[in-house]
Amino acid sequence: MSGSEGSPSPAAAQGVERVRYHVPDMDCPSCLAKIEGHLSRCEGVVGVEGSPVARTLTVAMDPSQTTADRLRAEVARLGYDAHPKSGGRDRVPPVSTWRSRPARIAYASMSLFVVGVLMRFVGPDPLLAELPLAELRLAGLFFVAAALVGGWNFFPRGIRAARALALDMNFLMTVAILGALAIGEYAEAAAIAFLFALAELMESYAVDRARGSVEALMELAPETARVWRDGRETLVPAGELEPGDQVVVRPGERIPADGTVTDGHSAVDESPITGESLPVDKDPGADVYAGTINRGGYLRFQVEKPAAESTLARIVRMVEEAEGSKSRSERFVERFARWYTPAVTVGAVLVVAVPTLLLAQPFAPWFVRGLTLLVIACPCALVISTPVAVVSGITAAARHGVLIKGGSYLEALGQVRAVALDKTGTVTFGHPEVVEVVPVNGADRDEALARAAAVEARSEHPLARAIVERARRDDLPGGWFVSDFSSMPGVGARARLDGEEYLVGRPSLMPDNGGVDAPGRLAGEGRTVVGVADGKQTLAWIALADRARDAASVAVERLRALGVEHVVMLTGDNQETAEAVAREMGVDEVRARLMPEDKVEVVRDLEARYGLVAMVGDGVNDAPALATAGVGIAMGAIGTDAALETADVALMGDDLTRLPYVRRLSLRARGVIRQNIAAAILVKAALALAVPFGWVSLVTAVVVGDMGVSLAVTLNALRLGSVKDGHGV
């Protein structure tokens, strides 16, 4: 976009572009609401969304009517700096909370306050002036300075809020501090200023910790990469890699981009993306992903995607977008805060007006109580209680290889009563495997399997690939000279090994069976049986099946323990095959011979019977059912664009135990959200009711009603990071 510094999305729909900013000082929902309200009224702005926890702002705009620079200027008018975001990282490096400008202001305010306290209780404190409502001593002068310096963090935005008639935190604190100064409560004003500034810093630090997992994800991709050019290695910035580049990765190094292995063999640790602990073997032709770790040997791969479009970069973007989405609880709290703050503010006016105007009470003490209620009216601790839990939950899930698209889905996962599992590729591996080899006629089991693999090595049939893979995994010998290979579609294959003919195929193809089937025990339970024969007799029967994943039955058992009432398996396979897998898994119900539209109807039927339903599939073939379910969960989404885009929740790896993990995380998150909302409302309500009786001071209102509650709900939310992906919590 000409003349702008923002980072518009590469694909703009109908002339609309999205620009993203990092807004360091947008640290509370009221700040976000103010920015959203202002920008939504600007020409050319189509939509605005953001996250005060992530401190990100995304604006959908019409580039023919406005520019990213103009939007930055509009945000600056409200008193906030907006830094463009590009490629998932800020162009302006983040500053530590404790070394930021607000922190320096807070330190200066605190220092002046401490000097004032020492002057009052230790050193000489001469009288400087007699004012109408109080006397000004030297200590008081330091307190005034502390109040004005500390208040500078929010005075400018408080004045802007007053002009806009907005009752936000900055306005309320500005009134409280200036009001306390006006009636001579200098120490109270100073304490409010530096304690509130300190509270903001502590809240900012705690909130940054809540989203630390996303920043850790962003740091997974290395800064530089070794590119193979002109017969030698050249070190280049990873962000400059382009499709087609040949990249070299040595043992222990992180892979800088998505690509395909062209040379070498190694085991790659994909746990930073998928959460799976076991390394994955990589040979030429295998896919590798940015942020994963080369644990073993030398690898060279060809870059397939630019850094900004890697799976890791897309995960980071989606997690940040998820942080900006609002859950049902968050929307409730925001609606509550919209009437809570004005109501308490009106109460503050009445606390001052009624006793002084109608009951002839002294003005100063009731004015202080009114200011105290204004501090309690600040909604930040209440409104931050939910999004900080949502962000903590989403980032914890990302660290365990689960991408949750928003707070609404995080909450919904805990309300699911029925789960529908697609069979092929989800419950099972999605491809046949050799499950049993039975030698006959005195043949050797390993030699028969090895000869079958030698014949099938030239076939592309899934059964052939399964036989070859099993022989390779068993490290069986080969070395025969293969000639005269021929494939018989739907029947089998034949070839000569060192001049002697061998057959692999249906039982009816075997020379000594005359069409008689293989033993019944092999053919049952959804298995496919093929025979291996030389020119005279059968050597072995090989049973193959699409085997259920080892974790499938464990996942179903744990889901039931976590309150899921009904688990059903859906498949397009025949009933016998489906029931064989279902028995192994222990599901409650099997629906077989289903077309994609049939799976949609099953999901609707489950919703009618149980309420909220989660559908688990591969994200492509099951897209209609995933879209119909209350929560659509795609498994094995790493490197799968369709799964990442269409699902509500994406399990990056193929580990079904992530299902009970994310269920457990959701249940804990819903509990934390309820605790945070209840704590914020009850503490503020108790303080507000105690104010008219003079039981709550201004300092108590700040320390307990704002700083205390904010820190409590934030630290409570951080517990979500301790939810384990195993049996424990």
Is 108 exposed, middle or buried, given 0-12, 13-18 or 19+ CB atoms closer than 10 A? middle
If one counts every other C-beta atom within 10 angstroms of the C-beta of residue 231, the result is 5
Question: 140, 186 in Cβ contact below 8 A?
Answer: yes
> Residue 639 in 3-state DSSP?
coil
Angle at 117 between CA 112 and CA 123, to 5 degrees: 105
Residues 616, 422: Cα–Cα separation, whole Å: 6
The token duo for 674 is: 């309820």
Q: What is the DSSP string of 117-182?
A: HHHHHTS---EEEE-SS-EEEHHHHHHHHHHHHHHTTTHHHHHHHHHTT---HHHHHHHHHHHHHH
Q: Which residue has the tokens 């039931």?
A: 560
**HSE-CB for 79 with a 13 A CA cutoff:** 17
Q: Which of 27, 245, 269, 422 is catalytic?
A: 422
Residues 163, 151: Cα–Cα separation, whole Å: 18
Residues 599, 524: Cα–Cα separation, whole Å: 26
Q: Please name the residues in contact with 138: beta carbons below 8 A apart, sequence gap of 6 or more.
A: 119, 124, 125, 126, 128
Residue 35 corresponds to which amino acid?
I
* Active-site residue flag, 422: yes
Nearest CA to 168 out of 1, 257, 37, 47 is that of 37
The token duo for 181 is: 């100064």
Residue 556 corresponds to which amino acid?
V
Q: Please name the residues in contact with 382: beta carbons below 8 A apart, sequence gap of 6 or more.
A: 333, 336, 337, 340, 677, 680, 681, 684, 709
- For the chain, what is the total number of helices (H) and then of strands (E)? 26, 29
* Phi, psi for residue 91 in degrees, rounded to 5: -70, -30
Question: 603, 628 in Cβ contact below 8 A?
Answer: yes
Catalytic site positions: 422
